[in-house]
Structure 1
């Protein structure tokens, strides 16, 4: 097999891994508290990321004093906040539905880049953001976006929307950091600082007891999230960015919610109705419009 074919297989693998995180997260959310599930995921992810960082960069992870505060913020937004909201939302929200809501994240990152970094936000980007918002509203409102204004969104849906905002904040804060540090190393420090933040609330919410009562399936999901969904997923994705560039690589991100919906239907028996498909298509197309060259 050629190196190019292997690269694309790894890229598709990372997308499938990320789609599968919603299935593993949905299973864990029914068995453990969000704090324990999030901490255990990133405790193991930090260990895996340490070895992957050493292999990719050829040295042990290291950060300067001036990098600590930005890296702590990345751990706060991308690990601590995102994963508590992730597992809290998945207690009541179907995996495929949640993944399609999250699909709007790139549009919010583009908006944040325009506001913070003064990047251009033209007509097509605006149209894409509006279309993505309508798509998400269609998913949450079960085909009637206006119902959100009347009935409001559920707690689970609000948690998933919180994931969108926290990951957008993480991505925007990471932009200046990765100019000074290897992206893989940035992920390692995010995992480490996020794990430290998750430890105390996890201990106060029954972590020790859940470590002993968790089932084999629960630990399988934790290892999946830590090794495949975090460590290998990110390392293969960044490898693709380095080889074929961010534009070509980014196209594959649109397959994540599609994979999550398919796996949710096959593995969890989640229904896939017309409103879910329509709203998801609008969201993904809106994201494409927002981020097209």
Structure 2
């Protein structure tokens, strides 16, 4: 048993990462029902920043100094990936189920691929094209609940629109991250972004006026904060990038495909959400699309990439 764990610890950790990332949708749904969005985001990243700082000091011993251009990029990362993403994330989860949100957010890799092709002139091939088409089709099926006429008529709900805002914010965050990660290790860049985002969140959180009542939050809220801040952010990202170092970005990235699957299963078990045919069909299209979009990378250029698109809650 010990030999098995030693030989497979990286894969076990990466499986847990997918589970942690999937759990953020469940925790987010609970937080959204109890707290306003900025307060939820502030509590999540206050905890995440604390543990990420500890992890960085343990791994690297110190933080590198930053120049003014890097400072501006870190602020942009905080605004897009922390403040913007989480405002849309918690706002959307007030209106739609965790399972539907997780499938829609799975559009991230396809949108990131499109932006990378347009901005960084990344390689484009038939697998990426087919994958993007599959992912977009799956997302449209989930958003419209199987009735595409809803989209043509412009009758998309606020929940779906908010979650699409998550996709835009996270894709922007990832593209900006490609620039700053030329100077910093990924976990350091993410820690800087979390700290910046947490500081920016102080004012809107104060204006929501509920933070002072934190002593009245129930146990579900505090467990959700722990799941989001520690498991789904600090530990999740640390283990994920540790996995990249051990087995390479291509193989580590495969585990991200399981995030919407774990999220949906937990939503059914914990939140008692119902599965619909449109959700199942849409999920198959989205997950297949993500796989196809990364097919060439995983099979032809393994170990040559320097990063991987991460899709989280």
Q: TM class, shorter-chain normalised? A: over 0.9
8 Å CA contact 2:88–2:162 kept in 1: the answer is: yes
Shift of 1:123: 2.7
**Match for residue 140 of structure 1?**
143
Larger deviation, residues 218-227 vs 26-35: 218-227
Structure 1 runs of 4+ off > 4 angstroms? none
CA distance in 2, matches of 1:61, 1:7: 27
Change (3 A) 1:61 1:229: farther
Change (3 A) 1:25 1:61: farther
1:114 to 112, 117, 122: 117
2:228 to 201, 225, 228: 225
1:209 to 207, 212, 228: 212
**Match for residue 53 of structure 1?**
56
**Match for residue 177 of structure 1?**
180
RMSD of aligned residue pairs (Cα, Å): 1.3
**Match for residue 102 of structure 1?**
105
Change (3 A) 1:242 1:39: same
Q: Which runs of 5+ in 2 are unaligned?
A: 297-313
Shift of 1:274: 1.4
**Match for residue 74 of structure 1?**
77
Cα deviation code 1:206-259 (max 9, x no counterpart): 133342332122112112211111000000000000111111011110100000
Equivalent pairs counted in the alignment come to 293
**Match for residue 289 of structure 2?**
286
3-state SS of 1:120 partner: coil
CA distance in 2, matches of 1:25, 1:4: 34
Change (3 A) 1:229 1:61: farther
CA distance in 2, matches of 1:88, 1:274: 25
TM-score of the two chains, using structure 1 as the length reference: 0.97
CA distance in 1, matches of 2:117, 2:55: 33
8 Å CA contact 1:114–1:121 kept in 2: the answer is: yes
8 Å CA contact 1:98–1:157 kept in 2: the answer is: yes
Instruction: Kindly indicate whether residue 256 of structure 2 is the aligned counterpart of residue 256 of structure 1.
Output: no
Shift of 1:272: 0.8
Cα deviation code 1:116-174 (max 9, x no counterpart): 00112223322221211110010011112232111421001001011111101101110
8 Å CA contact 2:63–2:188 kept in 1: the answer is: no
Shift of 1:61: 5.4
8 Å CA contact 1:34–1:84 kept in 2: the answer is: yes
Q: Which runs of 5+ in 1 are unaligned?
A: none
CA distance in 2, matches of 1:56, 1:63: 19
